[in-house]
Copies of this chain bind each other. A is one copy, B any other.
Amino acid sequence: MKTAVYPGTFDPVTLGHIDVIKRASKMFDKIVIGITTHSDKKALFSLEERKSLVEKEVKDLKNVSVETFSGLLVDFVKQKNTKIILRGLRELSDFEFEFQQAVVNRKLDSDIDTVFIMTDARYFYVSSSMVKEIALLGGNIEKFVSKGVQTALKRKLAK
């Protein structure tokens, strides 16, 4: 059974993330979404809120589960008894940072493989931080995030 771990901050989850998860769920037997506690201080949503928002989006995908982790990604991947990290690419320039991370992760554990797949072209250039900035300025984010996330963002920013 091949499991891939899809790590990220998901602050909040975008339609681009969902697209990557759906595509990957057909390629691998199991997908574990790993939400990192690492950047908690800077996050808009709490770890629990982020987890809950992702869970709502993937509840119909039977081979996808959502977990949180602290510590190194390579350690979390080993705990899940796999060696595969999944990363989505939203645009060409994403790759520079991603390649660097993949090299470092393989330095930490030489068996680790990072698998990159592309989001649908509709979601190129869509990122969580861009969505938050547009929402903050009162822009329309319905092309970028689900109804559930739109509501959550509105509520959060109203505070």
Contacts and interface: CB of A to CB of B under 8 A. Distances in A.
B134 A108 contact: yes
A38 interface: yes
A100 interface: yes
A154 interface: no
Number of copies: 6
A106 interface: yes
A23 B113 contact: yes
Contact of A124 (B26, B121, B126, B139): B121
Interface string A86-117: 00010111011001101110111010011111
A27 to B, nearest CB: 6
A70 B121 CA distance: 27
The SS class assigned to the A binding surface is mixed
A75 to B, nearest CB: 8
A118 interface: yes
* Residue in A23, A107, A139 whose Cβ sees the most chain B Cβ within 10 Å: A107
Contacts of A91: 92, 100
Given A116-B116, A137-B38, A121 B103 contact: yes
The 4 tightest CB contacts between A and B, nearest first, are A116-B116, A103-B125, A72-B139, A72-B137
Given A103-B118, A115-B115, 18 more contacts: A2-B28, A23-B113, A27-B113, A27-B115, A38-B137, A89-B116, A91-B92, A92-B93, A95-B95, A95-B99, A103-B125, A104-B130, A104-B134, A107-B121, A107-B125, A108-B134, A116-B117, A121-B121
